[in-house]
Each structure stands twice: as structure tokens, then as C-alpha cells.
């Protein structure tokens, strides 16, 4: 039997049982499309995280309190001692380490920003004038915190691009007064708006747009619960901007040596991370997510495959007589195998093709749409289509072969007597 004949016979058999064929293919359509969609979502999440980290600026090294064990976040959650101080940042800047283009420090804490009419929960970034240069941000109006604001502990505030319209839906924010309420309302300060940040856009996830910025000194010296007992200014992060093509590993080593000497410790009580380090950690997380999503999709593909095998087995049982007739008119065992494998394969490939269409369509539709407050990013991976298709074909081969093998075991005489 030629391949053309095998395909023709398969298509006839599929067409003869339209509903059953459609339901069988549906299992595979769901399987294949969910593989493509879930991998696209997983990859999209990975891309989102990567862009967010890249969006922090370029050529950055971060110094955070905490030891090598555990991340800065978990250390912070456990209330680890704040070991970094503002003068560490000054020391790094003045140490003359080659390749360092700028240093800024920051401390973050949650607060409520209040105007006469509005009330917004935000994150306050206490920082220095260098922040603009180091992080590569820009303002849409006004100016950033000046060195004078920092040295005089001035009560100047710069609003993130998303915060400004929330606090001042109608008025021009510059020159207005904003009250920051900290520690659940225990402390309240009045700040004067000096600038509004330009939007950072979707690549940074809009997170930075919801921050407000104040001079690090102004909050430090007024808030008892974050004040350092030694009179120093605590910071939660020091950002170091390196020159393009500078050796980040070397700079990390030099910064580490400098801070260990300043802190007089044998083991670092801080961590120095480059953007690549953060990317590595983040992609490990999103890889886990991708694997998880992929496994779920894979299971549905396997279930779809079992459905095909089930139908093919039923089909063999139902068509024993047909097999007997074909055997009697000269079909060899491998002709029968070819017929059933082709049928299963055709069903699977058609299902795979439709599934690919559905999956790609769904991924495209999902991309850029807000789901549960998060903007979905989907990245359709050609390899996910390849894998889904290969699995569909593999399922077709396996789920056709076993029933086909069963079919050849049918004794032609018995089959012909089977009325």
C-alpha cells in the first residue's frame, strides 16, 4: 500500500466518524495549545523580570545589607540589622576605585502620602542627588533633590510619575504640600513638591513610577525607628554606577574589601550584587515557573494522547470485520499497521495543527492584557511549537502502533465471521 493510499484511507475513516474524530482531536488541541500558551506565559514572565532588572539602569552594582546566606529580601523580612550607612557610600565614592562613575545610597520604607483631598500608599525612597545620574532616570517637571536639600535635611519631595496624578488629579503638583505619614501615623512630615519624575514605562513594571523621593538625611534624622544608634545614617542600598566596559567583578572585589575594612568584620555583613547576579537569581525563579507551567501543559498533552490511543483501540475492536476483509483481499500485516498508524498520526497532526493555531492565537490575545492587575507578557517560543508538535506526532505513532499491532493479531477467519 502506498503512502498516498494510506493517507486517503485514514482520511476516509476519520471523516466517517466525524464527532468521534473531533472529540479525539480536541484532547490534543487542548494539550498542544496549552503547552504553547503556558510556555509563552512563562517566558513572558521571565522577559518581564529581566526587563524590570535592566530597567533599573545600566552598568549598576548594588550593595545591600545582609550576609551571603539568604537574599536581601528575606534578611529584611527577618528585621536584620542595618549594617550599611550613608558614609559607606561616600567612602566608596572617595576611594578612587577605577571604573566607578557614580554612587548613590537609598533607604526605602512604606508611607502614606496625603494631600488635602487624596491619600496614597507609596514607598518612600530616601536618597541623594546622585540618584538621577546613577539610575539613569529623568524628570518630567521641576528638579530632583539637590545636594543642598541633602546637606540641609530639606523637606523636598519628588513624586513618581504615577503618584503625581493620584495626589494632584487637577492641580499642578510643583510647589504643593504633601504630608508623609510613617509608622502607621505615628510620625507625619510636610514636604514641598520640587519635581515629578518622567514615567519609566512598562519595562520596569511601573514600580518606580509609584515611588516618592526625599533627601535621605531629612527622614533619617527625624524618624526614631530607623535612626542608627551610632548617629550614622542607615541606608538599605548603595547603588554604584560603573563606567561602560568596566570590570564589574574587580570593582565588586574592591568595594567588598573596602567595606569589610570599614565595618571591621572578617565576613562581609553586606552583599555586593551586579545586575547579572540579580538576573541570574530572577531567571532561576522564572525558570522554575516555566517548568511548572510546562509540566501542567505536558500532563494535558499526555491525557490527550491517551484519549487518542483509547479511540484507536475502540476503532480496532469495531473494525475487526473490516480488517478481516482487507486481509482476505491481500492486505499484509504491515499494511494494516500502516493504516491504523496513519489514521492516528493524521488525527494527531491535524489536532496538533489546530492546537498550534489556537495556542498562538491565545498567546497573542493574552499578551499586553491586564490579568489580576498584572499586565501579561507572552513570548511565543518557536521551540514550544516544535515540542508540542513532536509530542503530538509521537503520541500519534505510539497510540496508533499498539492498536495496529492488536489489529494484526486478528485472525482473518474470525474477523470475517464477526458479523
Partner 1 sequence: MIRLEGVTKTYLTGAGAVHALRDVDLEVRAGEFVAIMGQSGSGKSTLMNILGCLDRPTSGTYRLDGRDVGRLPDSVRAKLRGAAFGFVFQSYNLLPRMSALEQVELPLIYQRVPNRRHLAAEALVRVGLADRAHHQPTQLSGGQQQRVAIARSLVVNPRLILADEPTGALDTKTGQEVMQLLTDLVDQRGITVVLVTHEQSVADFARRTLRMRDGMIVEDVVRPSLRAVSG
Selected binder of partner 1 within 170, 335, 343, 393 (CB under 8 A): 335
Q: Is 328 in the site for partner 1 (CB under 8 A)?
A: yes
Helix (H) or strand (E) holding 123, with range, is strand 119-127
Do the beta carbons of residue 62 and residue 239 sit within 8 Å?
yes
C-beta of 64 vs 326, nearer to partner 1:
326
Selected binder of partner 1 within 12, 186, 192, 369 (CB under 8 A): 12
Segment contacting partner 1 (CB under 8 A): 215-223, 327-335, 344-352, 367-375? 327-335
Helix (H) or strand (E) holding 24, with range, is helix 18-54
Q: Is 321 in the site for partner 1 (CB under 8 A)?
A: yes
Residue 378 CB, nearest distance to partner 1 (Å)? Answer: 44
The phi, psi pair for 274, rounded to 5°, reads: -95, 170
Segment contacting partner 1 (CB under 8 A): 226-234, 276-284, 302-310, 321-329? 321-329
Pairing of strands 156-159, 187-197: parallel
Strand partners, 203: none
Residue 321 CB, nearest distance to partner 1 (Å)? Answer: 8
CA distance 219 to 123: 13
Q: Is 133 in the site for partner 1 (CB under 8 A)?
A: no
Helix (H) or strand (E) holding 236, with range, is none
CA distance 196 to 176: 12
Segment contacting partner 1 (CB under 8 A): 90-98, 323-331, 378-386, 398-406? 323-331
Selected binder of partner 1 within 279, 353, 380, 416 (CB under 8 A): 416
Q: Is 405 in the site for partner 1 (CB under 8 A)?
A: no
Q: Is 76 in the site for partner 1 (CB under 8 A)?
A: no
Q: Is 94 in the site for partner 1 (CB under 8 A)?
A: no
> Could you give the 3-state DSSP secondary structure of residue 219?
helix
Q: Is 330 in the site for partner 1 (CB under 8 A)?
A: yes
CA distance 376 to 37: 12
CA distance 393 to 401: 12
Q: Is 364 in the site for partner 1 (CB under 8 A)?
A: no
C-beta of 3 vs 68, nearer to partner 1:
3
| The total number of residues written for the chain in this structure | 419
Helix (H) or strand (E) holding 40, with range, is helix 18-54
C-beta of 295 vs 414, nearer to partner 1:
414
Selected binder of partner 1 within 191, 255, 326, 389 (CB under 8 A): 326
Residue 340 CB, nearest distance to partner 1 (Å)? Answer: 15
Q: Is 317 in the site for partner 1 (CB under 8 A)?
A: no
Report the half-sphere exposure of 295 (CA within 13 A, side-chain side): 5
Do the beta carbons of residue 84 and residue 238 sit within 8 Å?
yes
Do the beta carbons of residue 237 and residue 105 sit within 8 Å?
yes
CA distance 158 to 143: 8
Task: Tell me how many residues contact partner 1 (CB under 8 A).
Answer: 23
Please report which residue ranges of 157-244 form alpha helices under DSSP H.
163-167, 216-220
Segment contacting partner 1 (CB under 8 A): 117-125, 268-276, 331-339, 386-394? 331-339
Q: Is 120 in the site for partner 1 (CB under 8 A)?
A: no
Q: Is 261 in the site for partner 1 (CB under 8 A)?
A: no
What angle separates helix 275-318 from helix 18-54, to the nearest 10 degrees? 180
Residue 346 CB, nearest distance to partner 1 (Å)? Answer: 17
Site string for partner 1, 13-52 (x = CB under 8 A): ---x------------------------------------
Selected binder of partner 1 within 52, 64, 241, 327 (CB under 8 A): 327
In this structure, what C-alpha cell is assigned to residue 311? 479511540
Contact residues toward partner 1 (CB under 8 A) are: 1-2, 5, 12, 16, 321-322, 324-335, 412-413, 416, 419
Amino acid at each position: 500500500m502506498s503512502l498516498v493510499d494510506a493517507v486517503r484511507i485514514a482520511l476516509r475513516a476519520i471523516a466517517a466518524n466525524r464527532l468521534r474524530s473531533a472529540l479525539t482531536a480536541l484532547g490534543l488541541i487542548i494539550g498542544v495549545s496549552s503547552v504553547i500558551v503556558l510556555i509563552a506565559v512563562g517566558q513572558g514572565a521571565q522577559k518581564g523580570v529581566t526587563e524590570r532588572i535592566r530597567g533599573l539602569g545600566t552598568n549598576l552594582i548594588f550593595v545591600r545589607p545582609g550576609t551571603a546566606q539568604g537574599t536581601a529580601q528575606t534578611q529584611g523580612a527577618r528585621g536584620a540589622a542595618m549594617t550599611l550607612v550613608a558614609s559607606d557610600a561616600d567612602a566608596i565614592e572617595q576611594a578612587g576605585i577605577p571604573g566607578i562613575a557614580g554612587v548613590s545610597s537609598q533607604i526605602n520604607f512604606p508611607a502614606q502620602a496625603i494631600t488635602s483631598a487624596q491619600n496614597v500608599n507609596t514607598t518612600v525612597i530616601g536618597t541623594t542627588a546622585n540618584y538621577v545620574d546613577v539610575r539613569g532616570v529623568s524628570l518630567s517637571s521641576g528638579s530632583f533633590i539637590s545636594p543642598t536639600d541633602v546637606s540641609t535635611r530639606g523637606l523636598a519631595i519628588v513624586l513618581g510619575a504615577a503618584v503625581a496624578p493620584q495626589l494632584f488629579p487637577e492641580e499642578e503638583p510643583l510647589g504643593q504640600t504633601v504630608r508623609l505619614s510613617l509608622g502607621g501615623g505615628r510620625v507625619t512630615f510636610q514636604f514641598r513638591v520640587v519635581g515629578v519624575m518622567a514615567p519609566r514605562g512598562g519595562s520596569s513594571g511601573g514600580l518606580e513610577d509609584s515611588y516618592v523621593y526625599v533627601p535621605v538625611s531629612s527622614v533619617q534624622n527625624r524618624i526614631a525607628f530607623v535612626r542608627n544608634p551610632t548617629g550614622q545614617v542607615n541606608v538599605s542600598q548603595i547603588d554604584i554606577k560603573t563606567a561602560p566596559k568596566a570590570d564589574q567583578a574587580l570593582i565588586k572585589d574592591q568595594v567588598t574589601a573596602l567595606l569589610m575594612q570599614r565595618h571591621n568584620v572578617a565576613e562581609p555583613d553586606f552583599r555586593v550584587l551586579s545586575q547579572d547576579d540579580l538576573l541570574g537569581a530572577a531567571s532561576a525563579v522564572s525558570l522554575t515557573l516555566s517548568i511548572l507551567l510546562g509540566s501542567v501543559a505536558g500532563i494535558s498533552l499526555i491525557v490527550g494522547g491517551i484519549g487518542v490511543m483509547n479511540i484507536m483501540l475502540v476503532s480496532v475492536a469495531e473494525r475487526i470485520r473490516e480488517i478481516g476483509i482487507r486481509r482476505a483481499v491481500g492486505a499484509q500485516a504491515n499494511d494494516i499497521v500502516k493504516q491504523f498508524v496513519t489514521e492516528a498520526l493524521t488525527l494527531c497532526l491535524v489536532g496538533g495543527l489546530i492546537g498550534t493555531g489556537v495556542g498562538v492565537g491565545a498567546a497573542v490575545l493574552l499578551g499586553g492584557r491586564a490579568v489580576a492587575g498584572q499586565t501579561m507578557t507572552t513570548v511565543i517560543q518557536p521551540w514550544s511549537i516544535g515540542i508540542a508538535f513532536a509530542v503530538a506526532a509521537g503520541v500519534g505513532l505510539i497510540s496508533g502502533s499498539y492498536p495496529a499491532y492488536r489489529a494484526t493479531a486478528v485472525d482473518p477467519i474470525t474477523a470475517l465471521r464477526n458479523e
